Amino acid sequence: MTRYEKWEAATTRPLDILGLLFLIDFLAGRLIPGGPQWWQLSLTVISVLVWVAFVIDYVVRLVLTEHRWDFVRSHPLDLVMVLVPMLRVLRAILLIRRSFRNISTERIAGSLLIIVAIVVAVGALLEYAVEHDAPGANITTVGISFWWAIVTTTTVGYGDTYPVTSIGRLIASVIMLVGIGLIGTVSATVASWFVKHKPGRPHGEDKTAGPADPGEPGDLGQAIAALTEQVRALSAQQAEIQRSIEKLTAPPR
């Protein structure tokens, strides 16, 4: 493995996480435009740090590759995300797409964590933007909104906080359905893992197939030929038995 491949393998997951963090930062800045000074400063610091990380990654990969111009031409999206900071949201979008496409039994844990984080963060920010200034609202801060999103996503449902607007209830309905799907996926994955790693079964063995019959022909043509021979033998035995019965029941001459 080359140094470029080692660097790419080591930084892909951290950059995906930073892209997700930037997506949350981006949504928070748009959905909660007004806030205390520390809030605005935190959003700015996160945005700058993520941008610096993407710049460092691009420069290091450009230095490590042997054909730099080919690298620039074959990675236009990476260059655009460095030059246009707002387009770093694309990294998070690509991550979401890849997570849904690559969900499998072996990699389900990482995919589920990404999906849960996205659902909780986006749901909490949307719910706060809709609910915090509504009459009679009880989701009035970002912290309460995140608490509500976690409780709702995990289908716990304490009932201490709840949406009071129609749009807020629609968002809650989506989060509830996603939460039920996640719980079902986790249960199915755990069951599948235990079945696949059942003691006494070789790794990779088909768990649905029954034990092989050592006397069964392996080829369909051979099986048909063997069955034909058995039918012929049975027919011959039946004819012999029929002749014996006729001799026994025949009247004496």
Q: Where are the domains of the chain?
A: 1-97, 102-197
Q: Grade residue 219 by pLDDT with cuts at 50, 70 and 90.
A: low
Degrees to nearest 5, angle at CA 71 with 70 and 75: 120
User: For the segment 171-216, what is each residue's pLDDT rounded down to a tens digit?
Assistant: 888 888 877 777 677 667 767 767 776 665 554 444 444 444 444 4
**Distance in Å from the first CA to the final CA of the chain:** 97
| Cβ-based burial of 90 (10 A; exposed 0-12, middle 13-18, buried ≥19) | middle
> With 80 as the cut, is the pLDDT of residue 47 above it?
yes
Residue 6 or residue 219, greater confidence: 6
Residue 206 confidence (pLDDT) = 45
Mean pLDDT of 48-71: 88
Q: What CA–CA distance (Å, rounded) separates 226 from 229?
A: 5
Mean pLDDT of 25-54: 81
Mean pLDDT of 143-162: 86
Residue 133 confidence (pLDDT) = 86
Mean pLDDT of 19-34: 75
The DSSP result for 226-248, as a single string, is HHHHHHHHHHHHHHHHHHHHHHH
pTM: 0.50
Residue 188 confidence (pLDDT) = 72
Distance of CA 120 to the CA centre of its chain: 16
Q: What percent of the chain has pLDDT over 70?
A: 67
| Cβ-based burial of 22 (10 A; exposed 0-12, middle 13-18, buried ≥19) | buried
User: For the segment 66-124, what is each residue's pLDDT rounded down to a tens digit?
Assistant: 888 888 888 887 787 777 766 666 666 665 555 555 455 555 555 666 777 778 888 88
- The structural architecture, per CATH, of the domain 102-197 is Orthogonal Bundle (1.10)
Q: What CA–CA distance (Å, rounded) separates 236 from 233?
A: 5
Residue 164 confidence (pLDDT) = 92
